[in-house]
Amino acid sequence: MSGKSESIKIEASASMSNLGSGFDILGISVNIVSDEVIVEKRDDKKIIIQDIIPSDFNIPTVVEKNTCGFAVKSLLDNYDIDQGITISIIKKLGIGSGLGSSAASAVAGVCAVNELFSLGLENKDLLNFALEGEQIASKAIHADNVAPCLFGGVVLINNYEPINIIELPFPDNLYFTLIYPDIEIKTSQARSILPKEIRFGDAVFQTGKTAGLIAGFYEKNIEIISESIEDRLAESYRKHLIPYYDEIKNVAFENGATAFNISGSGPTVFAVSDNYATAEKIGQIIQEFLYGKSIGSNSYISKVNPNPPRAIG
């Protein structure tokens, strides 16, 4: 991409954070829907958010209050770029979905600026700027959506200060069924209900599961991955925000799921299986179950998406 381009459009994918036992430290990129961000050079020095589509999401258009706008401004300021830009954001990911919507817009924005101004920055350089944007939405620093969205694949954040990530291998036949019920959960709210301290026994349990999950990815072993997806940090507190959570979880296991948990802070939940047919069946049966309770939902099937954001225009 030449620095002479006047505009660029980037798409950045959905992601699932936590993965049950990796609260705030593990996330994967999934191939279901992507947010798109268009950044255009202006003739003045202003940074303007021109459009957010669809408009009924009520996302702030003030740059400093918008995840994408803040991330982009912070990147431009850091490199002393005073050329103005116009930003347009096409939200294909629902807000408060548990699918990394705010992270995807922030990541797409910083990737677009990197390309448009030919900054030549690597993903690890862009990470902190996208994170600053994400923080606007969740009121906390957690990189488990931003990092997998930016790098693709399965990402472990093994340190926060300074931030460091490790990209993990993964089995090719690892299938996720994602069920997104028609409700919104704000990450800030879902974080506020978590306890400030946990019991020592739970810490030991959780450490074992997290270590097992990482071992499972390195071994590319779905059995180890599945038995390691158990969470004592957030699930029991957050499940009350998701209608019929326990029932849905039982339905998933009865229909072949090998693991089940909340995607990020919900309401999207995910089930693990090792083949497409089972993944599809789980999705259909859970959607039927929710429909019977008058709750609409979307269902998606994805393997791990290995791809980082890409220019589409």
Q: Does 264 bind ligand HSE (CB under 6 A)?
A: yes
**Contact stretch for ligand HSE (CB under 6 A) within 50-58, 158-166, 183-191, 291-299:** 183-191
Closest CB to ligand HSE among 88 and 187? Answer: 187
Q: Does 265 bind ligand HSE (CB under 6 A)?
A: yes
Q: How far apart are CA 285 and CA 61, in angstroms?
A: 39
Compute CA 2 distance to the chain's CA centroid, rounded to the nearest angstrom.
30
**Contact stretch for ligand HSE (CB under 6 A) within 68-76, 110-118, 136-144, 148-156:** 136-144
* Catalytic sites, residue numbers: 134, 187
Give the residue, chosen from 144, 230, 231, 235, that forms a contact with ligand HSE under the rule CB under 6 A. Answer: 144
Q: Does 142 bind ligand HSE (CB under 6 A)?
A: yes
Using CA atoms in the order 225, 307, 106, 5, what is the torsion angle rounded to 10 degrees? 170
x/- site string to ligand HSE, residues 12 to 51, per CB under 6 A? -----xx----xx---------------------------
Q: Does 187 bind ligand HSE (CB under 6 A)?
A: yes
Closest CB to ligand HSE among 237 and 291? Answer: 237
- In the sheet that holds 269-273, the strands lie side by side as 259-262, 269-273, 175-181, 297-302
Q: How far apart are CA 268 and CA 282, in angstroms?
A: 14
Which among 106, 95, 149 is positioned nearest to 309, based on CA atoms?
149
Q: Does 191 bind ligand HSE (CB under 6 A)?
A: yes
Under 8 Å between Cβ of 174 and 274: yes
Under 8 Å between Cβ of 40 and 6: yes
Which among 133, 141, 135 is positioned nearest to 157, based on CA atoms?
141
Q: Does 145 bind ligand HSE (CB under 6 A)?
A: yes
Largest CA distance in the chain: 60
What is the binding site for ligand HSE (CB under 6 A)?
A: 17-18, 23-24, 138, 142, 144-145, 187, 190-191, 264-265
